[in-house]
């Protein structure tokens, strides 16, 4: 499966034919899990084809933002309102260079 997705970078290679071949192989496999996986892919083939045809990037950026928000949620435990949580998320994602204390001299 990784090989098929790696071929997506080369438009001259018929990725959809490779995908169809893999689904046929999985559905003929003796392992029940692969048969079920092949059936699942066959069911969602239209969406997979759309993803292969139109997706140019991964969702790594969205996952990174989600991880930062989850970190903010962990830090915001004990705050009483969603507004406070949102403020923490904004402060974290703004990546401001704030001093640790306004009374502490800057490190040079």
Print pLDDT tens along the chain (108 aa).
Answer: 666 666 666 664 577 777 888 888 988 989 999 899 989 988 988 887 787 777 666 677 778 888 888 887 887 677 778 888 888 788 877 877 776 777 776 666
**Maximum Cα–Cα distance across the chain:** 70
Using the structure block, give the residue that is written with the tokens 């969406």. 47
Running DSSP on this structure, what letter comes out for residue 98? Answer: -
Dihedral in degrees, nearest 10, Cα atoms 73, 77, 81, 86? -30
Q: Has this prediction a pTM greater than 0.95?
A: no
């Amino acid at each position: 499966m990784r090989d098929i997705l790696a071929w997506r970078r080369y438009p001259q290679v018929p990725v959809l034919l490779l995908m169809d071949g893999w689904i046929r192989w999985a559905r003929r496999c003796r392992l029940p899990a692969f048969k079920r996986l092949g059936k699942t892919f066959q069911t969602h083939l239209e969406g997979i084809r759309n993803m292969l045809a139109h997706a140019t990037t991964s969702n790594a950026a969205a996952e990174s933002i989600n991880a930062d928000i989850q970190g903010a949620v962990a830090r915001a435990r004990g705050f009483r309102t969603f507004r406070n949580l949102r403020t923490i998320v904004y402060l974290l994602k703004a990546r401001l260079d704030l001093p640790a204390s306004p009374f502490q001299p800057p490190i040079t």
